[in-house]
C-alpha cells in the first residue's frame, strides 16, 4: 500500500487502513505529503480529516514551495481549506 495509490481512491476503509499503517508525513519524489496528495486528488473531506486527526504536518512544503493550504486554495477545495484553518494552518 502506497499513499499515491490510496490518494486516488475514494475508499474510506482503505484510507483508514493507510492512516494506521503508513507514515502520514511521508514525502514523495516531489516533496508532497499524503495530505497534499489527498487535496490534489480531491479526496472526500472525511479522508482529509483522518489525516488531520492523526497529526499530519500542516506547514510542510513541497518542492514548489506549496503547503497543503496553498494546494487547497489552488484546487478550490473549500471544505479542505476550512478544516486546515481549524487545525491551525
pLDDT tens for each residue of 45-87: 999 999 999 999 999 999 999 999 999 999 999 999 999 999 9
Cα Rg, the chain, nearest whole Å: 11
What is the set of domains in the chain, with CATH numbers? 3-86 (1.25.40.20)
Q: For 34-51, what is the mean pLDDT?
A: 96
Task: Kindly report the pTM of this predicted structure.
Answer: 0.94
- Let me know: does 62 contact 36? Beta carbons within 8 Å: yes
- Let me know: does 66 contact 36? Beta carbons within 8 Å: yes
Q: Percentage of the chain with pLDDT > 90? A: 96
Given a cut of 90, is residue 1 above it in pLDDT?
A: no
Given a cut of 90, is residue 10 above it in pLDDT?
A: no
Amino acid at each position: 500500500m502506497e499513499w499515491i495509490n490510496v490518494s486516488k481512491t475514494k475508499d474510506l476503509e482503505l484510507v483508514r487502513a493507510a492512516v494506521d499503517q503508513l507514515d502520514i508525513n511521508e514525502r514523495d519524489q516531489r516533496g508532497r505529503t499524503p495530505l497534499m496528495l489527498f487535496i490534489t486528488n480531491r479526496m472526500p473531506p472525511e479522508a482529509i480529516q483522518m489525516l488531520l486527526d492523526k497529526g499530519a504536518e500542516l506547514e510542510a512544503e513541497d518542492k514548489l514551495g506549496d503547503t497543503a493550504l496553498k494546494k487547497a486554495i489552488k484546487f478550490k477545495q473549500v471544505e479542505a481549506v476550512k478544516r486546515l484553518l481549524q487545525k491551525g494552518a
